[in-house]
Structure 1
Amino acid sequence: MKRIGVIMHGITGRMGYNQHLVRSVLAIRDQGGVVLKSGERVMLDPILVGRNGAKIEEIAKKHNVARWTTDIDAALANPDDTLFFDAGTTQMRGSLLEKAIKAGKNVYCEKPISDTMEEALAIARLAESAGIKHGVVQDKLFLPGLRKLAMLRDSGFFGKILSVRGEFGYWVFEGDWQPAQRPSWNYRLKDGGGIILDMLCHWRYVLDNLFGPVKSVSCLGATHIPERFDEQGKAYKADADDAAYATFELEGGAIAHINSSWAVRVRRDDLVTFQVDGTHGSAVAGLTK
């Protein structure tokens, strides 16, 4: 059994806790690790890191995680833990990744790397020069609906792809008469909120990997609901974009248009639906079917 020690930061947030800790790292642990082609088994051994010690300890006890700390510097100094994972706030990510890379850790993180292109490029170049393994979450590519579209593409079903249309959105309550499903910081610019920063990076790697490299993009962002209510029920100004209407030009001539919204009031079978039109045929798929 090969052990990989994983320093996990940001697991008190919704995505860090549900998607990355419970459904990924702990699920791998509970199934006895991952079996490699060689027959060797790899087991992940997480240490949970965060500023709120009480909350981190509570999560660790609930899920039988032996190690947790509020001292990120001490965690990064431990040579037995070789991988750093971050799902904290975007505004903190750049400095944390830089610190982890300089500590010699391999890094894997949520998207985006940063809220500025300059910092994102600097972090990527630092990782390359350090010679460490590094990656950013691109989870949508491996979901069943998009795997189906990839299969159709590879089979020649579409012929020449002409256009791609995507609709992303779900009913997000404002927080007044029904609790909001998304944290209030998502809707405040000063806290790094906004659907463009959060979601368009997903659509970029989906398009790049499934339908053709993106040559250019234009996007109109909108704040459709200017007032929302926070976790304490207090009204606040929502000044971040809660909807985005983007058009992408792909190499090969295809055009993709993707609408994204955290303000819609519709029910749908899937959070995202993609329609692909080609010279030979068309197909529609969601993320999960």
Structure 2
Amino acid sequence: MPGGGPPTEGPPAGAPSVSEALRFAFGTLSVLRVRVERWDRPTAGRAMLCAPVVGVVLGALAALVGALVAWRAGGLLGAVAAVAVQAALTRGLHLDGLADVADGLGSGKPAEDALRIMKQSDIGPFGVLTLLLTLLAQIAALAGRFDASPWRGALAVLAAATAARCALAWGCLRSVPAARPGGLGATVASTVGTGGALAVSAGAALLLGLLGLTDGGSALWLPVALLVGLVCARLLLRRCVRRFGGITGDVLGAMAECAATGSLLTLALAG
């Protein structure tokens, strides 16, 4: 876990509360220090539905830093700062997953061998290249938004961070199995209903649309960017399920980065 301490032993009886789900979400998806009180599948499922809240909080922090840097030193440095803050607040969790999935998919080996490659601590050439291109794309897309205005850049950061965490719920649908037993992927796999994933995505789109009213045309393009990001993440999920037989924690991280990048590229192309 990036943040918090080890979970308590033995889940308490009863349905998980919103507070317990939020603690699980922040404890597993950020470096923020929280105490995870429950570590079971019902809590995991509700936590994945709360993941967009984590995206809003981390995205707001990164957007603030990026906007301040862009205001004083230009859009390019503002974009670098925003991406760096996001990586620091997650301890590179999603970026690591993206690199591992790239190595697994690029290996061309059977599912069992590909999963073993993904579990190794080192990064191969496919992972390095994918990380490099993804970070360059995110920074380039954000630089244009920050050059337009610090506020427009901040909204783009927030949209990407929110889209990334909305994608997690879609990766944990009940129709999607775990690729292997054990680990975070097995804990959260098949825990989210389609209705819940739709609801949190719609709520996130509405929030972004309302924030976009402060910047004219962004009221339309921010929700569109969220949708495009989720479509990109779903395409990656489909590929990974076919290739690995299900999801792992790395696949979820890769989906998050894919959704964020798709959202940012959509906003960049929107101009």
TM-score of the two chains, using structure 2 as the length reference: 0.26
- If each structure's strand is expressed as a fraction of its own residues, which one has the higher value? 1
User: Normalized against structure 1, the TM-score is what?
Assistant: 0.25
If you compute each CA radius of gyration, which structure gives the higher value, 1 or 2? 1
